[in-house]
Amino acid sequence: MLYRLGVLGKDIGYSLSPKIHQEFAKQFNYSVEYSIYDIDKDPLLFIRDFFAKDGFGLNITKPYKHNVAIEFSSDLESVNCIYEKGLKVCSTDGVGLLNDMQSKKIDYENMDILVYGLGGAAHSILETIKTRKKIYVKNRTEKKSEDTINKNNILHKYKGEKVDLIINCASSLDLNTMKKFEHFLITEDGFIYDINYKNKTNSSLETLSYSKKTNFYNGIGMLVEQAAECFRLWFDEKPNVEEVKKLLNERV
């Protein structure tokens, strides 16, 4: 049986998801066709048509995660996975990040954390991540920070406190934003985790990590981990992730 899968977004020709899911499928001898669906409009119409024509599973990425959540869920801010042939939705971004940080021995549960950028993936991360210390949020627009804090009273507005971990969820960082990052206080030997991959933010934040004497990671590991969780939802099989992480890090 051939399983039709894919990722839906806009300007996503760089996506590594087809490679990842092909590697996962090899582990179980599944035959999959995983395609990139790069569309400018009507994501909801596309989704319904995809599953009406025997689509098996679909990933959702920028800029449609929030739109899909509004249409298909009453309680989610962001959706990146549609399964059960279009009947169920969820976001695996949060668990993907946590699983990758655990594999990298990042003890986030005992860290003060700053999450910068409050788009779709950030909402999933904030709903999932837990720490015995504090979680701060910051965004280019203060109103978005305030709205996010009002919805989740365990979050705090960032006012210059020293943190152990910065998670960047913004897909672009202009010069003014990078100047803000330079003033963020982070413990020496702390962590900067950029959830993007193959992105200009990677080089900018890696350079910043050198100056602040911190550790830097890009989003390749998170990408693989969230994909593994999607694969589990589609096939009820959890693939091995470490070999795929190594393979992709060599390619990027």
3 forms bridges with which residues in the sheet?
32
Q: Is the pLDDT of residue 182 over 70?
A: yes
Domains and CATH numbers, the chain: 2-91+222-251 (3.40.50.10860), 105-218 (3.40.50.720)
Beta strands 31-38 and 2-9, pairing class: parallel
Beta carbons of 120 and 8 less than 8 angstroms apart:
no
- Tell me the DSSP string of the chain: -EEEEEEEESS-TT--HHHHHHHHHHHHT-EEEEEEEE-SS-HHHHHHHHHHTT--EEEE-TTSHHHHHHHH-SS-S---EEETTTTEEE--HHHHHHHHHHHTT--GGGS-EEEE--SHHHHHHHHH---SS-EEEE-SSHHHHHHHHHH-TTEEE-SS-EEEEEEE--S---HHHHHHHHHSEEEEEEEEEE---SSHHHHHHHHHHHHHT-EEE-THHHHHHHHHHHHHHHHS-----HHHHHHHHHH-
pLDDT digits (tens, 9 = 90+) for 25-83: 999 999 999 999 999 988 999 999 999 999 999 999 999 999 999 999 988 999 999 99
pTM of the model as a whole:
0.94
pLDDT value for 252: 63
Q: Is the pLDDT of residue 154 over 70?
A: yes
| Interval 101-124 mean pLDDT | 96
Q: What's the mean pLDDT when you consider all of the chain?
A: 95
CA distance 9 to 49: 15
Residue 80: both structure tokens together:
């990146």
Q: Is the pLDDT of residue 243 over 70?
A: yes
pLDDT value for 29: 97
Which of left, alpha, beta for 191 (phi over 0: left; psi -120 to 50: alpha)? beta
Residue of 129, 46, 53, 57 whose CA lies nearest to 90? 57
Instruction: Give the confidence band of 198 by pLDDT, cuts at 50, 70, 90.
Output: confident
**Could you tell me what percent of the chain has a pLDDT over 70?**
99
Of the segments 100-104, 139-143, 150-154, which one has the largest average pLDDT value?
100-104
